[in-house]
Amino acid sequence: MYMDAQSPEVSLGTTRRRLAVLGGVGLVLGGIGGVAADMVVHLVGLISNLALLHRFGWQLPDLRHYHPTPVLLAVAVGGALVVVGLARWSPIIKGHGIPESLKAILFRDSRIMPRAAVAKPISAAVAMGTGGPFGAEGPIIVTGAAVGSLIGQLVPVSPAERRILLAAGAAAGVAGVFATPVAAVVLAFELLLFEHSLRSLVPLVLATSVAAALHDVLIAPHPLFAVVHPLVFHVTQLPLFAVLGLAAGALAVVLNRGLFAVEAGFRRLPVPE
């Protein structure tokens, strides 16, 4: 739709002044997300060093030469019990991250309990630090989303604007941990936002840019999973990538359905939670 150059509206009824406010909050969320990412990474490092290597340290340990012993079983069970206790205090951390954020967006006007911002990173750090096969993407999404939602509950914003702040917080967390600002924006647009507009893009870009910059300062001057060697391939190898994509897609279906089937089986067990 054509817009008059003198019109104060810039995107879906949002004025320039309002867009500047959302952008300013995006900058704040980027700073919080970057700091939260640093705390999560170093908390995982602390628990990993204490639980697995029996030493004190904040950096992620190199486990290439780590040889597990039967003691690891007790460590893993102990970590699981801690996570169970945290889940009793904050039930939202039972999920995988993104589904819980979507549920908050769809059914609670993008409102997430503040305790999720505390319980989720701690539970994730304990689970990963005690040998659990988990990653940081789900926990940092919930943590950042909870912070964005909390700010959206403290300042006067509409439910649509609160959704943008929730998504910006989640994207900032991802960019802060992995130093992937573009991928974080795409992730938020694909999964957490139901609009592709200027008013949602500006806070996202500002938040992820600040968080990724803080990753370079606080964690490491490179992505968490850096590609050391350049990717070189010939055009004749492209069909192999298609085969790889089909295999990965099929494996994703099996993994998702298997995960939900196991969860449903545990819920049917004749024992209390």
Q: Is residue 1 part of a domain?
A: no
In this prediction the pTM is 0.81
Q: Is residue 109 part of a domain?
A: yes
* pLDDT for the residue 190: 86
Q: Is residue 123 part of a domain?
A: yes
Read off the CATH number of the domain in which 88 is found.
1.10.3080.10
Euclidean distance between CA atoms 14 and 227, whole angstroms: 40
Domain count, the chain: 2
Residue ranges of the chain with pLDDT lower than 70? 1-9, 95-97
Q: Are residues 127 and 143 in the same domain?
A: yes
63-85 pLDDT tens trace: 888 888 888 899 999 998 998 88
Euclidean distance between CA atoms 96 and 134, whole angstroms: 10
- Residue 257: give the domain boundaries: 233-273
Q: Are residues 29 and 136 in the same domain?
A: yes
Residue 242, both tokens? 């298609």
Residue 21, φ and ψ in degrees, nearest 5? -65, -45
Q: Is residue 54 part of a domain?
A: yes
* pLDDT for the residue 6: 53
- Cβ atoms of 56 and 49 within 8 Å: the answer is yes
Q: Are residues 118 and 144 in the same domain?
A: yes
Q: Are residues 89 and 195 in the same domain?
A: yes
Return the DSSP state at 94: G
Q: Are residues 113 and 139 in the same domain?
A: yes
Q: Are residues 83 and 100 in the same domain?
A: yes
